[in-house]
Amino acid sequence: MIKKVLIANRGEIAARVIRACKKLGIQTVAVYSEADQHAPYIEMAEESALLGPPRVNDSYLNVEKLISLAKKHGVDAIHPGYGFLSENATFAKRCEAEGFIFIGPSSEVIEKMGSKIAARKIMSQANIPIIPGVNEAITSPEEAVQYAKDLGYPVMLKASAGGGGIGMEVVHSDEELRKSFENNQKRAQTFFGDGAMFMEKKIEHAHHVEIQILADKHGQVIHLYDRECSIQRRNQKVIEEGPSPFISEKTRQAMGDAAVTAAKALSYTNAGTIEFLVDQEENFYFLEMNTRIQVEHPVTEEITGIDIVAEQLRIASGQELSVKQENIGVTGHAIEARIYAEDPVTFFPSPGQILRLELPEAAYIRHEIAITKGMNVTPFYDPMVAKLIVKGKDRQEALNRLRFALENYHIEGIKTNIPMLLKVVNHKQFQVGQTTTAFVDEHYIPLIKN
In a domain, 114, yes or no: no
Q: 350, 356, 382, 296: which is closest to 36 by C-alpha?
A: 382
Q: 219, 444, 216, 423: which is closest to 317 by C-alpha?
A: 216
Let me know whether 139 and 69 are in one domain. no
How many domains does the chain contain in total?
3
Residue at which a domain ends, from 103, 121, 145: 103
In a domain, 251, yes or no: yes
Model pTM? 0.95
In Å, how far are 231, 233, 344, 410 from 427, measured between CA atoms? 12, 16, 16, 21
Which range of residues forms the domain containing residue 151? Answer: 132-201
In a domain, 290, yes or no: yes
In a domain, 321, yes or no: yes
The pLDDT of residue 234 is 86
Residue at which a domain ends, from 149, 166, 201: 201
In a domain, 185, yes or no: yes
CATH number at residue 182: 3.30.1490.20
Let me know whether 332 and 247 are in one domain. yes
In a domain, 113, yes or no: no
Burial of 355 (0-12, 13-18, 19+ CB in 10 A): exposed
In a domain, 233, yes or no: yes
Q: 44, 41, 45, 37: which is closest to 6 by C-alpha?
A: 45
Let me know whether 284 and 419 are in one domain. yes
With a cut of 70, list the residues of the chain below it in pLDDT.
450
Q: 293, 303, 294, 297: which is closest to 270 by C-alpha?
A: 293
* pLDDT tens digits for range 255-291: 999 999 999 999 999 999 999 999 999 999 999 999 9
In a domain, 109, yes or no: no
Let me know whether 157 and 56 are in one domain. no
The pLDDT of residue 450 is 64
The pLDDT of residue 426 is 97
| Residues that are catalytic | 292
Let me know whether 91 and 189 are in one domain. no
CATH number at residue 437: 3.30.470.20
Q: 262, 316, 327: which is closest to 130 by C-alpha?
A: 262
> What is the rounded CA–CA span in Å between residue 388 and residue 390?
7
